[in-house]
Structure 1
Amino acid sequence: MNVGAHVSISGSRVSSDTATPEYNDIRNAVDRQLAFGGNCGQIFTTSPQVWQQPEISDEAAQGFRELTAEKLEGPWVIHSAYLVNLCTPKDDLRQKSIDSMQAELDAADKLGIPYVNVHLGAHTGAGVGGGLDNAAEVIDELDVPEDVQILVESDAGSGTKLGGEFDHLAGIIERTDEEIGICIDTAHTLVAGNDLTTPEAVDETIQRFDDVVGLEYLEYIHLNDSKHDIGTHKDEHALIGEGYIGEDGIAAIINHPELRDLPYALETPTEDGKGFEWNIAKVKELREN
């Protein structure tokens, strides 16, 4: 099973097998993933709360690629900055979003990471159609490296944010010329109004996703339980099996024949002494051979 966590790259090199450690060393991600028991996962290349370009030395990038190939099994994904808004009608925010996304795509290419994950963002008055048109124009303006794919993440769907409905995901696929993929966040999917609490509900939701979007576009899953119930549009993740999706729902997701071979990245909280290591172990416990 390809399962891991969203790990930090912060700090100097955790291990001492490099001549020139650097602050926020990308190689830290591999060490931390292994410590948690993961074999794939997700990273930020910079702080997600500010407009900042990734700074990755050639040595660190090469080391990251080598460590990943040697010690991990599944693919990494870069999560774009939270400030990025593909749907915005505002020219200045649009350009900042383009510049940030291009930097992340270039970083993914340098690191040998196949995916860059991004939220559609909020249309802020442009309307659903206008927001999706804006997002498609931004994506089409990017120079996407040959071995990198943009993944649009499903959203909790609050306010004017897009991505909470499967129609939004289908709409961006239809509008862009780029061959994008989809990343489903299980907590977001639940609170956006889709039942994932029982095997029967999971089957129905997956079938509806296939009918509207197409399972061939689904490349990655953010596996999170939710602290809020179906249709609340409240984005707050819970420990695996201890939220509203629950053990039955999580087990149904990770063992579903259409989903079981996909990579899973956890964005679960650290609570009650339970962190990523506990959550990954819980996922493996719920996995059927």
Structure 2
Amino acid sequence: MVTVGAHVSISGGFDEAVARQRDLGGTVGQVFVGSPRGWAVKDVDESDGAAFREAAAEHDMGPWIVHGTYLINFATPKEDLAEKSVRCVQGELDACSTLGIPYYVFHPGAHTGAGEETGVANVADRLSELDVPDDVTLLLENTAGKGTTVGKTFEQLDDMVAQSTQTYDDIGVCLDTCHLHAAGYDFRTAEGMDELVAAVDEAIGLEHVEYLHLNDSKHPLGSEKDEHEHVGEGEIGEGGFDHFVTHEAFADRPMVVETPADENGYAWNVEKVRSLAE
């Protein structure tokens, strides 16, 4: 059985996130540790961590992942924004460790006109400033490529690690299906899926892909637009997700959906992934 869940709220406490995930039918999950559109990291103490770990263990739920705030921009040429970003990521990594959450993911950011090479180098420099806790793996998320964002290609993601003082012992990759599709990676056929897997393996190494975000796309292949749709209901379609979640390269990875919050909801998408994986 695939390990799949959804992004859930921490309102009322981190242990409440476990209860919400259980109600959705998920066996893994994703949370924020602060407002996704602010810089403040929620104060997390040992009692929060103990309650969360106990609830997750009781329901045999995990591994969990924390998603970084959307304001983070490691690619920026602006030093003040870079300093805020590094401080925020460090705080969120430390919160992961306190909670016992083994994964943390964030978007590398945008170079805002400084150029892709400079943007990638900036990400590497800021990664080098981090003290990644021993029990947490930081994951770079591939991007759709809109505007001046970096991380659209697997080669760029690998360069961010290679140019930093970090290694793949502390850093990995989270692949987002909507972003892959928007960036021009077509895995809607079996042949296309094999080509995607080969490209990931050559540039990054499959062993460094540690988590997956499952989102369909509202826009065509290569659009560079990051707008999520329900699994199987968008431009990727059921066939694309069938190839993705059942391929031997990714079938055992933890997966979370970040699909629209409308009439279908997360529970529908979690069940849809399970049905496609059967």
TM over 0.5: yes
2 CA distance for matches of 1:9 and 1:223?
Answer: 21
Query: Quick check: 1:197–1:244 contact (8 Å CA) kept in 2?
Result: no
Query: Counterpart of 1:8?
Result: 9
Secondary structure at 1:5's aligned position in 2? strand
Counterpart amino acid of 1:134?
Answer: N
Counterpart amino acid of 2:6?
Answer: A
2 CA distance for matches of 1:282 and 1:102?
Answer: 35
TM-score w.r.t. length of structure 2: 0.96
Secondary structure at 1:161's aligned position in 2? coil
Query: Quick check: 1:26–1:45 contact (8 Å CA) kept in 2?
Result: no
Listed as ranges, the matches of 1:243-262 within 5 Å are 243-262=234-253
Counterpart amino acid of 2:254?
Answer: P
Query: Counterpart of 2:231?
Result: 240
Query: Quick check: 2:46–2:99 contact (8 Å CA) kept in 1?
Result: no
2 CA distance for matches of 1:132 and 1:159?
Answer: 15
Counterpart amino acid of 2:145?
Answer: G
Listed as ranges, the matches of 1:96-111 within 5 Å are 96-111=84-99
When the two chains are superposed, the root-mean-square deviation of aligned CA atoms in Å is 1.1
Runs of 4+ in 1 over 6 A off after TM superposition: none
What is the identity percentage for the equivalent residue pairs of Structure 1 and Structure 2? 46
Identify the match of residue 160 of structure 1 among 136, 144, 148: 148
2 CA distance for matches of 1:140 and 1:176?
Answer: 5
1 CA distance for matches of 2:44 and 2:96?
Answer: 11
1 CA distance for matches of 2:241 and 2:115?
Answer: 34
Query: Quick check: 2:74–2:123 contact (8 Å CA) kept in 1?
Result: yes
Secondary structure at 1:203's aligned position in 2? helix
Secondary structure at 1:269's aligned position in 2? coil
2 CA distance for matches of 1:124 and 1:104?
Answer: 24
Aligned-residue offset at 1:224:
0.7
2 CA distance for matches of 1:217 and 1:65?
Answer: 25
1 CA distance for matches of 2:240 and 2:161?
Answer: 28
Counterpart amino acid of 2:276?
Answer: L
Identify the match of residue 59 of structure 1 among 47, 54, 61: 47
Query: Counterpart of 2:207?
Result: 216
Query: Counterpart of 2:82?
Result: 94
TM-score w.r.t. length of structure 1: 0.92
Query: Counterpart of 1:16?
Result: none
2 CA distance for matches of 1:77 and 1:26?
Answer: 12
Query: Quick check: 2:8–2:21 contact (8 Å CA) kept in 1?
Result: yes
Query: Counterpart of 1:15?
Result: none
Identify the match of residue 117 of structure 1 among 97, 101, 105: 105
Counterpart amino acid of 2:38?
Answer: V
Provide, for residues 182-207 of structure 1, a one-character-per-residue CA deviation record: whole Å limited to 9, x for no partner. 00000000011110212221111111
Listed as ranges, the matches of 1:11-26 within 5 Å are 12=12, 25-26=13-14
1 CA distance for matches of 2:188 and 2:108?
Answer: 26
Aligned-residue offset at 1:60:
2.1
Aligned-residue offset at 1:267:
0.2
Listed as ranges, the matches of 1:138-217 within 5 Å are 138-178=126-166, 179=168, 180-217=171-208
2 CA distance for matches of 1:108 and 1:270?
Answer: 25
Unaligned runs of 5+ in 1: 13-24
Listed as ranges, the matches of 1:9-88 within 5 Å are 9-10=10-11, 12=12, 25-88=13-76
Secondary structure at 1:122's aligned position in 2? coil
Counterpart amino acid of 1:29?
Answer: A
Unaligned runs of 5+ in 2: none
